[in-house]
Amino acid sequence: MMHGKQIHSLVATFPSHTGAEGAIQALHAAGLDMKRLSIVGRDFHAEEHARGLYTSGDRMKFWGGRGAIWGSLWDLLQGGGLFFVPSIGPLVVMGPLVGWIAGALQGAAAGGDMGALGRALASVGIPEESVVEYEREVKAGRFLVLAHGSAAFVNQARAALAAGGAAAIHTHLREEYRLRDAILGLLSDVEVARVSAAEGAPGLVQGDEYLDLDRLDQGVHRAAGPTARAGSLLPRKVLADDTWDLILSRLPSSRSPSPRPAA
């Protein structure tokens, strides 16, 4: 049996940006590793005037709306971004969640029922039933503060936030089997070279089958349209049929793929 690993995460919901900022400051004061913390929320309300962001050296600066708030968090969370996410609108994101949303948006054209924010949250172990609720909170204008790491880290974050005015604090645990390394170990040297070459080649086209190595529990996907190749996607077309069949035999039986179309 493959050994499992546990992914712990915490999500605190705040009704205002000031509460979320205070939470980040409290976590910083408690000595937590800021590289494992993120914040996400909608901004740029219609009643506000000039708004935007720009880079200056190695810093991204915001003006208008809540620019001063976001700017003060930039150093603490070591990076940020502004994304327009379909069905939600413009999001300001800081911390490692930036990379997860960027990857989710890059792979969005490959299809799937979950939105970019949802895919990003799911990638750190938040169950899909909770993801829907968190997306709803963000759409309603609330702010999420996230922490991910070991059980001890998440417990420390929860203790630091206990008196911080959060509307809700939830912790999540996902048990993952280390399938990714096992799957990649099934590839021949030639197939590994094809996968590497495909990362710089044109992406998937409509109908292409692929696996998301970060979400192997979801089984086989079919691309809904042209999309750039995200690094976590393993296209069937770069593998031999025998290798693909062997990979599928290792996937959870509850996510069995649809039968292969006849040649």
Q: Any idea which residue has 């069995």 for tokens?
A: 256
Provide the token pair at 81.
């971004």
251 has which bridge partners?
Answer: none
Predicted pLDDT at 185: 86
Domain ranges for the chain, please list them. Answer: 4-177, 179-255
Q: What pTM value is reported for the model? A: 0.62
Better-scored residue on pLDDT, 66 or 138:
138
Cα–Cα distance between 146 and 97 in angstroms, integer? Answer: 9
Q: What is the DSSP string of 117-132?
A: HHHHHHTTT--HHHHH
| pLDDT tens-digit readout, 70-107 | 666 777 887 778 888 878 888 888 888 888 887 777 65
144 has which bridge partners?
Answer: 13, 40
pLDDT exceeds cutoff 80 at 190: yes
3-state secondary structure of 225: coil
What is the distance of C-alpha 239 from the center of its chain? 27
Predicted pLDDT at 55: 44
Predicted pLDDT at 189: 86
Task: Give the HSE-up count for residue 186: Cα atoms under 13 Å, Cβ half-sphere.
Answer: 18
